[in-house]
Structure 1
Amino acid sequence: MRKLINPALLKKVGMVVAGIALLVLVALVFMRSGPLAPVQVVVTTVKEGRIQPGIFGVGTVEARRSWMVGPTTAGRVLNVTADVGDQVKAGELLAEMDAVDIDQRLEASQATVARASSALNAAHAQLADANARRDLASINAKRNQDLATQNFISAGALEARLQEKTSADAGYQVALANLEAARQDLTRTKAERDALGKQRANVRLMAPNSGVVVSREAEPGSTVVAGQAVLRMIDPNSLWVKMRVDQGRSAGLTPGLNAKITLRSQPEMLLSGKVARVEMQADSVTEERIAQIAFESGSDALRKTSLGELAEVTLELPQPAPALIVPNAAIQRTQGKVGVWRIQDHKLEYVPVRLGASDLDGQVQVIEGLKSGDSVVVYSQKALKDDTRIKVVEALVQNTERSTSP
């Protein structure tokens, strides 16, 4: 008689087998896609090559030579003849201030100069008369001295003639002093007239140089103070870009570097230029250095740009000698050291390196620490350690969970 299998025992065995299978399945899931799964990494091969270092920055278009045209004294704007965008020449009338009473004062000053000129002529005539009187008194005194020597006249008569000569000499000195005073008075009145003439000329605001009017700061009827601008003008041939560069990426920034400029209004056009000046003082708040980039002359694109427009600038640094290069993304900082994660015999190894120049495409030179043909990690799903299990993939893909409605 066949021995029957206990159903309860068979059920327990089945449950144990199912549990073991479930545990194995969960372990496989954890090992492949769970927390214990290997970290996916993207690697690259170290190779020798050349890079073109550069500096990138953003700036604004400004004018190197600009002028604020305004009065030297407070007053009211009478009229403004120039408008924004006008091409003006040096010495051209741009605006005029109200002269108030300057014309009347200038006319009065001119009359004072004429009066001083007449006084000077009168002083010349008085000097000539005094000189004639002095000469006559000298002749009479000499004649009487000769007669007194021969005892033909008395001593009193001689003294009277000598007194006349002394008075004539004194009259000549007075006339001479009056002439000098008249000359000084004429000089003073002419200086006052010239000063009023300059004040009158200052109410006419002339262009200090040839250029373009960029703004009208005051309209006719407005009252402005001394030094306040009525018009602003620039030299359109002096446009440049005030460029700002991160201090940490400004190594090699010197005058004379070639530059490629892209204006925000003309992104399809690449303009050429050079670093004209590097400012001595950096911006400590934004941690940036400031450089002035001059455009190459003769570009038609500059006629379409405007002050304050944003521009992107790329500076070309001298090209270094060929060296090993890796992507900048592969560089990691661990415990204060700069290095890369190298894969050797399917194991991770952190290798400190010494870096050289870098370019704007994300490539950097490795001077020491690696050799040609080494495989280094560029991207990883997580932070790496020496004992991290890894899986090399072409690209990192982020898994997204999708839910569907029943």
Structure 2
Amino acid sequence: MEQSLLRWTAFITLLLSASFNINAEGLPHTEAVYKNYARQWTYDGSVEAINQATVSSRVSAQVAEIFYDVNDRVEKGELILRFNDEEIKTRLWQAEANLLAEQAQLKEVQARYTEAAAEAKRISDLYQRKQVTRSALDKAEADKAATAARVNVLNAQIKARQAEVEQAKVELSYTEVRAPYAGVMTKRWIEVGEMATPGQRLMSGLSLNDLRVVFSVPQKQLTEVMAAKLDVLLPSGEHLTQLDKTFIPAADPQTHSFHIRLDLPQNINDIFPGMTTKVIAYGREQPVLVIPKQALVKRSEVDGVYVLAKQQLVFRQVRVGMEYEDGWVEVLSGIDAGEQVMTQPDRALVYLQQQHD
């Protein structure tokens, strides 16, 4: 055991003596350089349904039946709720009866008008031959005018009755509430037996066929992001490209950020409203100051690099930005282009410790 300890001590001594002989300029290093990259920004997006609505009552009536509940799937046009329609049917029947009665009355009056018009013409001819008095002619013309006026009144009444019938038919159609599109029911606002009034909420739902991703962009990035290519990264790892974009031209007063919507293609599997996604914005290519990723040192919340400046090795705090797929990291501040950074920071640390011992 003593021999093993002696051998280990000798190895450590040899390693330290070798490390003491390291020259800072001999450590692996490279320059901070400018390379051309397309700017990238990543944002958190939220999936929402394009078609989501709450259907409201258009009549005053009692709920008779509700055919779907929350989380039920429904097809477009299917009956989801029905009101009691007895009162409206009664109004419709009464309106139709009134219409038929006045139409029958109009036929009688029109027949009398035909007779009155013929009589007025006959009396007028006789009057021209001086065979009847002026008073007889005036009476015939008055009878004709009165009958014509009655025809006009009945025509107006019939139009009003027809409007009542049509209104009752429309109200009757409102007693059946149908799904405006295929989707999922999300909220029920009323129960069977309750009275509804016009405008009262009944059922809420959304469509799973037409979805979009909404994300927020800080105002300082807006110009570049609006000109960028936008991709959506789904939870499954699938990338969606060439999506229709809608910009909302009003900033959030609290965050001063802008909302952008990206329409998703239909029939995407396993994507639902409320899920989160990533939105990646690819801007134009431009020079970026970068260093190798392996040169970066993280100490708690501080990023830094070992820099060889004037033959002296120093630790320099830096602020970094994008990390690129080819192994380079953007440097926003802390070093300049052309400065030498150590690509093996562990060896640089050993060197500095030796210098201080």
For structure 1, the residue ranges without an aligned partner over 5 or more in a row are: 1-41, 146-157, 331-339, 381-390, 398-406
- Of residues 246-255 and 172-181 in structure 1, the stretch that sits farther from structure 2 once superposed is 246-255
Using the size of structure 2 for normalisation, the TM-score is: 0.72
Cα distance in 2 for residues equivalent to 1:255 and 1:168? 85
For structure 2, the residue ranges without an aligned partner over 5 or more in a row are: 1-27, 297-304
Q: Offset at 1:360?
A: 5.0
Cα distance in 2 for residues equivalent to 1:341 and 1:285? 41
**Aligned with 2:205 (options 233, 243, 258):** 233
Q: 1:296 to 1:194 in 2, by over 3 A?
A: closer
Contact 1:76–1:98 (Cα < 8 Å) also in 2: yes
Matched, 1:270 2:238: yes
Contact 2:186–2:206 (Cα < 8 Å) also in 1: no
**Structure-2 residue corresponding to 1:309:** 275
Contact 1:258–1:316 (Cα < 8 Å) also in 2: yes
- Of residues 220-229 and 272-281 in structure 1, the stretch that sits farther from structure 2 once superposed is 220-229
Q: 1:395 to 1:221 in 2, by over 3 A?
A: farther
Cα distance in 2 for residues equivalent to 1:248 and 1:74? 52
Cα distance in 1 for residues equivalent to 2:138 and 2:277? 89
Cα distance in 1 for residues equivalent to 2:211 and 2:127? 85
Cα distance in 1 for residues equivalent to 2:167 and 2:228? 48
Q: 1:250 to 1:229 in 2, by over 3 A?
A: same
* 1:2-401 aligned within 5 A: 45-83=31-69, 84-89=71-76, 91-99=77-85, 101-143=87-129, 145=130, 161-208=133-180, 210-217=181-188, 218-254=190-226, 257-263=229-235, 268-273=236-241, 274=243, 276-299=245-268, 301=269, 304-318=270-284, 320-326=285-291, 343-347=308-312, 359=322, 361=324, 363-364=329-330, 370-372=336-338, 374-375=339-340, 392-393=348-349
Cα distance in 2 for residues equivalent to 1:395 and 1:196? 94
Contact 1:77–1:97 (Cα < 8 Å) also in 2: yes
Q: 1:227 to 1:137 in 2, by over 3 A?
A: same
Question: C-alpha deviations, 1:336-394, integer Å up to 9, x for none?
Answer: xxxx996421358999x9x9x96355833789x9444x22599x9xxxxxxxxxx9428
Q: Offset at 1:314?
A: 2.1
Q: Offset at 1:136?
A: 2.0
**How many residue pairs end up in the alignment?**
307
Cα distance in 1 for residues equivalent to 2:314 and 2:266? 54
Contact 2:227–2:283 (Cα < 8 Å) also in 1: no
Q: 1:51 to 1:184 in 2, by over 3 A?
A: same
Q: 1:92 to 1:395 in 2, by over 3 A?
A: farther
Matched letter for residue 344 of structure 1: A
Q: Offset at 1:184?
A: 0.5
Matched letter for residue 330 of structure 2: V
Q: Offset at 1:225?
A: 4.0
Q: 1:363 to 1:294 in 2, by over 3 A?
A: farther
Q: Offset at 1:194?
A: 0.9
Contact 2:213–2:262 (Cα < 8 Å) also in 1: yes
Contact 1:76–1:223 (Cα < 8 Å) also in 2: yes
Matched letter for residue 95 of structure 1: L
Matched letter for residue 272 of structure 1: L
Q: Secondary structure at the match of 2:224?
A: coil
Identity %: 17
Cα distance in 2 for residues equivalent to 1:135 and 1:178? 19
Matched letter for residue 96 of structure 1: R
Q: 1:315 to 1:221 in 2, by over 3 A?
A: farther
Q: Offset at 1:101?
A: 1.4
Contact 1:213–1:231 (Cα < 8 Å) also in 2: no
Cα distance in 2 for residues equivalent to 1:261 and 1:54? 14
Q: Offset at 1:169?
A: 1.1
Q: Secondary structure at the match of 2:254?
A: coil
**Runs (4+) of structure 1 moved beyond 6 Å?**
327-330, 348-351, 394-397
Contact 1:74–1:224 (Cα < 8 Å) also in 2: yes
Question: C-alpha deviations, 1:9-52, integer Å up to 9, x for none?
Answer: xxxxxxxxxxxxxxxxxxxxxxxxxxxxxxxxx98631343334
Question: C-alpha deviations, 1:39-79, integer Å up to 9, x for none?
Answer: xxx98631343334212111221111223222123443221
Matched letter for residue 145 of structure 2: Q
Contact 2:228–2:282 (Cα < 8 Å) also in 1: no
Using the size of structure 1 for normalisation, the TM-score is: 0.64
Q: Offset at 1:395?
A: 12
Q: Offset at 1:195?
A: 0.9
Q: Secondary structure at the match of 1:173?
A: helix
Q: 1:323 to 1:59 in 2, by over 3 A?
A: closer
Contact 2:228–2:283 (Cα < 8 Å) also in 1: no
Contact 1:56–1:314 (Cα < 8 Å) also in 2: yes
